[in-house]
Structure 1
């Protein structure tokens, strides 16, 4: 870019307004996969982003979900640029409905029908939280963010709530009513 405009937004001006946020106490990291499978049996998803912190987790979760006949796509920093572009194009058109990714996709993608963002892993930097769940709720859609939280993650969840002055409630049993 030539002479780009730089826009700085103060933390106080960042907003999660309009995004319904929940957490699921999964206790242990190895219970996350069973939890996501149970969740998908309960809800109908138009489009969803699932964020992981590591590419190995993206690969592993995608493999396990595909083995259980879930239709998912995956993308991370080592995904070839041509494949990455194709996946994003399919996701924008609604042909790819569930995308498992790292923070690679937490900024810069506008997709109109993302109703659900799942933080399979809480972000390593609390500043990334708004970029992840901010992928939802565009174009008048009422978004939901679900955060999987292990016993060790509760302090991170508390930090996120404090940092953004927001409340993240435990996910209710009637989650389908929110989507």
Structure 2
């Protein structure tokens, strides 16, 4: 899907649709040099959903730094990064802030589904919340850290192994969340391999992706 197609996504839906399992999609990018711009275009639209919890997964620190820089000027998204140089206290703070944001997202969905009136919140409080993380710094379940439950997981870099793909899911994605895999030329075969070995169904990202969030 070209950048133009991302920009033509339908207007923001204000309802939270529930799914019993994650939905997996791929977003093809024509060339590697267009990848950052495609991500920014996607987040300019999807990220305007109030309080939307988002995780962007990268394979390396260099790519994490590039992504963090690219999205830094998106004023409607509050962004934090998880990388190895963080102290334990800083890491715990990033994870806890994201969990609190996720709780607010879930509470907002309950309010809307029950038809209750919403409280007035500031622009700052309505921001989407996003963590950019490398595989080395995902929540460590085996060490006692709790998973984070993002509504949207973006695999900015597609992992080459099924095990890494599944770990990203189990540590970062809500049970009814959505995964978007950004693909550059040559990665479709890798995606198909993950799809077949894991039993997942991974379809091209639909234009109405906002309505699913």
Q: TM-score, normalised by structure 1?
A: 0.80
1:15-37 deviations in whole A, cap 9, x for unaligned? xx711000000132221211111
Name the counterpart of 2:160. 124
Tell me by how many angstroms 1:68 deviates. Answer: 4.1
**Corresponding residue for residue 146 of structure 1:** 180
Alpha-carbon separation, structure 1, partners of 2:39 and 2:180: 10
- Whether contact under 8 Å (2:22, 2:179) holds in the other structure is yes
**Cα distance in 2 between the residues matched to 1:166 and 1:111:** 21
Larger RCO (CA under 8 A, 6+ residues apart): 2
In the alignment, which residue of structure 1 is the partner of 2:23? Answer: 20
Q: 1:30 aligns with which of 24, 30, 33?
A: 33
Cα offset for 1:106? Answer: 5.5
Question: Which residue pairs with 1:105 in the alignment?
Answer: 138
Q: Give yes or no for contact 1:107–1:131 (8 Å, CA) kept in 2.
A: no
**Does residue 41 in structure 1 map to residue 44 in structure 2?**
yes
Separation of aligned partners in 1, 2:195 and 2:202: 7
2:4 maps to what in 1?
none
1:173 aligns with 2:198: no
Distance 1:42 1:24 in 2: 15
- Pair 1:71 & 2:78 matched: yes
Partners of 1:19 and 1:148 lie apart in 2 by 17
- Of 96, 101, 111, the match for 1:94: 101
79 and 146 in structure 1: CA distance in 2 versus 1, 3 angstrom threshold: same
- C-alpha separation in 1, matches of 2:158 and 2:139: 13
Q: Which 5+ residue runs of structure 2 have no aligned equivalent?
A: 1-19, 103-127
- State yes or no: 1:115 paired with 2:151: yes
Q: Report how many residues are paired.
A: 159
Give how far 1:137 is off: 2.0
Q: Deviations 1:130-149 (Å, cap 9, x if unpaired)?
A: 111232124xxx21000001
The 1:118–1:93 alpha-carbon spacing in structure 2 relative to 1, beyond 3 Å, is same
Which residue of structure 2 lines up, in the alignment, with residue 60 of structure 1? Answer: 66
